[in-house]
Amino acid sequence: MSRSTSRPPLARARFIELAPDLATEAPGGKAFDVQFNPESLKLAFANEVKQPASADGAEGGADTSAGTAGIQFVGAGTTKLSMSLWFDVTAEMANPVSDVRRLTADVLHFMAPKPVEGAEGKLAPPGLRVSWGSFLFDGVVESLEETLDWFSPAGLPLRASIALSMVQQKIRVPEFTPEAPGGTRPRPRPFTPAKGGQSLQAMAAGSATPWQAIAAANGIEDPLRLAPGTAVDLAARAPGFAPTGARRR
């Protein structure tokens, strides 16, 4: 008798609306899990610097002629976060919808400016916290680009991707607790991103692992319709699956 093992639940990236202080969660604010975790997160760091002006008003002055740039730090710096998100109404959902824009509207909420309390006539986008496991980023949405790439016969968009960029007005340096001596380091496995319209069967062609085993190990419920960018571990094998041509005992 084979013993079944359950896979730990997949950690989902979560979007949480922040209060105007950009540090605490807004009471009653919007909060939701993304439909598909981003494949990667990109962080960019920048300091605000300038060269001091010389006596005649030109930048650089004597310091430049002496061979030193004379750069001065004049700001607190910024950290930018960039990611891509995918949405697909054909995937299994608790509350199915027919138009993918009903899903992307949750993300667009953080782009739309709203009145600032206590500052008449002033508008600002709501703060956003991106929380994914041990990763945390607080800031505001700087830019957003939405692409609709698959339509139903009735003209309803079914799939979409969003390129999102956030900014935080400081240099974000992560802090970690000391690791225990002798601890084991996780060894990441290579993942293959799915292309638009690609099925799991096509991705697994030529692999020694049956596509059914790959689907079970990756938690893929619909192998015929993979969202573009879905990260798949083609070397994974779920317990209970035998290699092709092997006989189970």
Quick: pLDDT tens for 37-72. 998 999 999 887 777 766 555 555 545 554 445 666
Statement to judge: residues 87 and 162 lie in one domain: yes
Higher pLDDT, 24 or 75: 24
Task: With respect to residue 78, please indicate whether it lies within any of the assigned structural domains.
Answer: yes
For residues 89 and 158, give the distance between their C-alpha atoms in angstroms, rounded to a whole number.
5
Considering the domain boundaries, does residue 110 fall inside one? yes
What is the C-alpha to C-alpha distance for residues 141 and 111, in angstroms, rounded to an integer? 6
Tokens matching residue 71: 């750069």
pTM over 0.75: no
- pLDDT mean across residues, the chain: 80
Digit-coded pLDDT (tens) for 73-115: 666 789 999 999 999 998 878 889 999 999 999 999 999 988 8
Which segment, 17-21, 105-109, 122-126, 204-208, is predicted with the most confidence on average?
A: 105-109
Say yes or no: 160 and 46 in one domain. Answer: yes
Would strands 31-33 and 42-46 be described as parallel, antiparallel, or unpaired?
Answer: unpaired
Distance, in Å, from the CA atom of 223 to the CA atom of 11, rounded to the nearest integer, reads: 21
CA-nearest of 176, 132, 172 to 16 is 132
∠ CA(51), CA(52), CA(58), 5° rounding? 95
Tokens of 192: 């293959």
Residues 6+ apart with CB under 8 A from 112: 125
Question: Are both 210 and 99 inside the same structural domain?
Answer: no
Same domain membership, residue 229 and residue 160: no
Q: Check whether residue 20 and residue 112 sit in a common domain.
A: yes
The residue segments making up the domain with residue 218 are 191-249
Q: Which of 7, 9, 8, 27 is nearest to 17 (CA)?
A: 27
Strands 78-88 and 157-168 turn out to be antiparallel
Last residue within a domain, chosen from 142, 173, 204: 173
Q: Are residues 120 and 148 in the same domain?
A: yes
Q: Is residue 106 part of a domain?
A: yes
Cα–Cα distance, 128 to 138 (Å, whole number): 6
CA 229 to mean position of chain CA atoms: 12
pLDDT score recorded for residue 54: 61
63 is a domain residue: no
Are 99 and 221 within one domain? no
10 Å CB burial of residue 212 (0-12, 13-18, 19+) is middle
**Same-domain check for residues 214 and 160:** no
**Helix/strand/coil for 64:** helix
User: Does residue 109 share a domain with residue 41?
Assistant: yes
Q: Whole-angstrom Cα distance, residue 175 to residue 140?
A: 21
What total of structural domains would you count in the chain?
2
pLDDT(206) > 80: no
- 41: left (phi > 0), else alpha (psi -120 to 50), else beta? beta
For residue 159, how far is the Cα from the chain centroid? Answer: 17
